[in-house]
A and B are shown apart, each in its own frame.
Chain A
Amino acid sequence: MLIRLDPGSPLPLGDQIAAAVRGAIADGSVRPGERLPAARTLADSLGVNVHTVLRGYQRLREEGLIELRRGRGAVVAAGAAPPGRARLVEGVRELVADARALGLSDEEVVELVRTGLATG
């Protein structure tokens, strides 16, 4: 799992961490059920605030890719789903980026997805 933080990027550092972990889950270099480095350890390693790492982990938890438990730290969700799910989330992020570049509003994007779901 390679995590690169570019201070010049418009993407917040927490999101950059989330993206790197998501990529690692998608390509299988972090396996379902595997424990991620403790937030404090990773923060020290990258030289960032521990809350920045926790924000990234929180984002992944919202996406259903990892579980955060007190005392156990961050663990990639178990089962066969995480790699595919991580790729799906990456696809969603691409979709959102493309929509923003085209100047679509949030409602228009949701409407597009809803239409796609209805016909799919």
Chain B
Amino acid sequence: MNVLLSIAKERRRLLLVVLPHLLACAAFLTVFLSRHDRLPDPMATHFSGAGRADGYTALGSFPYTALALLLVPTVLFTALAYGMRGGRTRALVALGYALAGLLGYLLCALVLDNARAGTDGAGARLELWELGVALAVAAAAGGLGWLLAGPDATPAREPAAVVAPRLELRDGEAVTWTRSIASRPLRLAGLALVLPGTAVGLLAGWGAGVGLVVGGLVVCAFSAARVTVDRHGLTTSLPWLPRPRLRIPLDRIETATSRPVDPLADLGGWGYRVVPGRSGLVLRSGEAVVARLTTGSEFVVTVDDAATAAALLDALAARARTGGA
């Protein structure tokens, strides 16, 4: 029964995400069809800072462009909301509402301005105050979305921690656990930036390609990490440099466990993430070391053989508390 209820709830939530975009589409189509006879061909669709038209689109292709502009974010937001279902989606819903309000208002205003200009699109003006109104509409729609979404439920489906037997440490024993992790998708994403960047650089001059190349190299550099558990605490760093690094000292760690982590639902994405009550480095989904800190929040690192790492970290933290070596 509970499962059915939660499925119905998730469906309602997805409907809530799609709704503003559909309303924006409906508003645009209503305005466009009612003014269709009075629209110039081509329509003015781009305006200079002073509000004068300086770009045009054929009347025949304008509605398709406009609908695509409205529907692409619809698909994006729906997919994100589905991916993060059960997670913290309130801000996402609000952002979707704001975007739908902004785009919907601007496209309707564009049609009305063109209709006012009559047969010649060059006479159409888009005044600055209309942008101001568009932003106000976006803010109002965003606020409405925020209210409709309601507070985020604390994730009920907290997966059970894998309880590892705490490693037994002998007196004076020095122990280190270390392992490197690499994210293949991140590395591919980095290469996907570097290669076109290089091509663009060769064809159109390095000024054009350097941003892509540098961005790609940075993504590649951060696609791997080394995780270490030792007498200092839990440390993550780049595989080939001692710094920069993230280190949680032992005296800040209450307990440590390992459990499976879903980057999108638990931390809102991949990489180094900070969400209320939880932070960490997630390069993939799957088993992770989860350290509960003395502040009550959690620090998460996805890594293979997390159970061993967690068992050792727990033992080291306990030894540090009792004042052992």
Contact = CB atoms under 8 A, between A and B. Distances in A.
Contacts of B116: none
B178 to A, nearest CB: 6
Contacts, number: 53
Nearest to A20: B176
Contacts of B240: 35
Given A35-B239, A41-B242, A3 B180 contact: no
Interface residues of B, number: 22
Contact of B173 (A6, A34, A38): A6
Contacts of B230: 45-46
Contacts of B177: 1-3
A48 interface: yes
Given A45-B230, A45-B232, A29 B179 contact: yes
Contacts of B173: 4-7
Q: Is the interface of B mostly helix, strand, loop or mixed?
A: mixed
In this complex, the interface size class of chain A, counting residues with CB under 8 Å from chain B, is 10 to 19
Contacts of B232: 45
Given A2-B177, A3-B175, A6-B170, 5 more contacts: A4-B174, A5-B173, A38-B242, A45-B178, A46-B231
7 contacts: A3-B176, A8-B170, A38-B242, A45-B232, A46-B174, A46-B230, A47-B231
Interface of B: 170, 172-180, 226, 228, 230-232, 239-240, 242, 304-305, 308, 312
